[in-house]
Amino acid sequence: MSIQTSLRLAVAVIAMAGFGVCGALADPPAKAAPPKNDPRARIAAKLDVPVDAIHPSVVPGLYEVAHGSEVLYMTGDGKYVIAGDLYDAEKGKNLTAQRRNEGRLAGLKTVSDEEAIIYSPKTPKYTITVFTDVDCQFCRRLHGDIAEYNKLGVRVRYVFFPRSGPGTDSWRKAEAVWCSANRKDALTKAKQGTDPGNKICKDNPVAKTYALGQDLGIRGTPGIFTDRGEYLPGYYQPAQLVEKLKGLENGTADDEG
């Protein structure tokens, strides 16, 4: 998670806890609250988050509060907030990054293959989920290399993230591509500059994947996620991407989120 994202979440927490701002980091819990002497109950009440979003961290007295891919830490009395990464110095492991990836992966799993446009080799070595915008220059560049990604063993799951938001031209194009009889052909033509028209169909996933992208903290398109939840924002040349994926798999590279 970027410093900006951490600070944004921290500011939201402080605003809700100290100034009575309406809203929540997540839906309120349906289950009964834990005993009042449980520090998590105090934190949950203060932040209006589910108790099961709060876990004791490895640091005594410090609790982890997770919302999707965003993670921060709070003292049991709810008085102090830490927005930053927590490391295991002995093992050299970023514990916060691991938790973020778990949250991202859980979100990505809510989008089925039937809700994505997939380009895959026969025997993929890697799978990436790419949040894409039809009008994004670097998304178009990535799509122009799609055959090479596949040749190198990369399976690409496209989901839509029209950066300009609902009701915009990019949103209309995303929906029209999805509602086309041949989605792959429509996507390719749209990324080459052909207007896909105004096709509308029920149950298209554009709104769902756009909301998910926001929850995952996407800062721009293309937004690339591995099948372990690592975030790689921006365009990567095919060979460059494969090297990055190898490094992440072997633990010799870090994600960019």
Do 75 and 29 have their domain in common? yes
In a domain? residue 108: no
238: domain CATH number? Answer: 3.40.30.10
Q: 27 vs 151, which has greater pLDDT?
A: 151
- Which of 84-93, 125-134, 155-164, 228-237 is least confident? 84-93
* Catalytic residue flag (residue 22): no
**Per-residue pLDDT at 34:** 52
- Which of 87-96, 116-125, 131-140, 239-248 is least confident? 87-96
**Per-residue pLDDT at 36:** 57
Q: Cα separations (Å) of 29 from 33, 44, 71, 81?
A: 8, 9, 18, 22
Catalytic hit among 42, 139, 140, 179: 139
Catalytic hit among 40, 42, 104, 163: 163
In a domain? residue 128: yes
Count: domains in the chain: 2
The identity of residue 118, as a single letter, is I
In a domain? residue 255: no
pLDDT by residue (tens digit) across 157-196?
A: 999 999 999 999 999 999 999 999 999 999 999 999 999 9
196 token code pair = 């896909």
Q: How far apart (Å, rounded) are the C-alpha atoms in residues 98 and 20? A: 32
Q: Which residues lie below 8 Å from residue 178, measured CB to CB, with a gap of 6+?
A: 117, 160, 201, 204, 205, 206
Is this model's pTM higher than 0.95 or not?
A: no
pLDDT by residue (tens digit) across 132-166?
A: 999 999 999 999 999 999 999 999 999 999 999 99
Q: How far apart (Å, rounded) are the C-alpha atoms in residues 117 and 180? A: 12
| Inter-residue long-range contacts of 191-199, CB under 8 Å, 24+ positions, other chains counted | 191/134, 191/139, 191/140, 191/143, 191/144, 192/140, 196/134, 198/172, 199/175
* Catalytic residue flag (residue 179): no
Q: How far apart (Å, rounded) are the C-alpha atoms in residues 122 and 128? A: 15
Catalytic hit among 42, 104, 135, 136: 136
* Catalytic residue flag (residue 88): no
Q: Residue 38 — very low, low, confident or very high, per pLDDT cuts 50/70/90?
A: confident
pLDDT by residue (tens digit) across 48-71?
A: 777 878 888 999 989 998 877 788
Q: State which of 58, 92, 126 marks the end of a domain.
A: 92
pLDDT at 20 over 60: no
Do 148 and 200 have their domain in common? yes
Do 82 and 122 have their domain in common? no
63: domain CATH number? Answer: 3.10.450.70
* Angle, alpha carbons 144-230-211 (nearest 5°): 75
Q: Cα separations (Å) of 138 from 108, 236, 239?
A: 22, 9, 16
Strands 81-82 and 87-88: unpaired
Catalytic hit among 40, 104, 133, 135: 133
Do 246 and 176 have their domain in common? yes
Do 126 and 246 have their domain in common? yes
Do 28 and 78 have their domain in common? yes
Q: State which of 43, 58, 92 marks the end of a domain.
A: 92
Peptide bond into 222 cis (omega under 30): yes
In a domain? residue 104: no
Q: Residue 35 — very low, low, confident or very high, per pLDDT cuts 50/70/90?
A: low
Do 241 and 117 have their domain in common? yes
Do 117 and 241 have their domain in common? yes
List the domain range (segments joined by +) for residue 33.
3-92
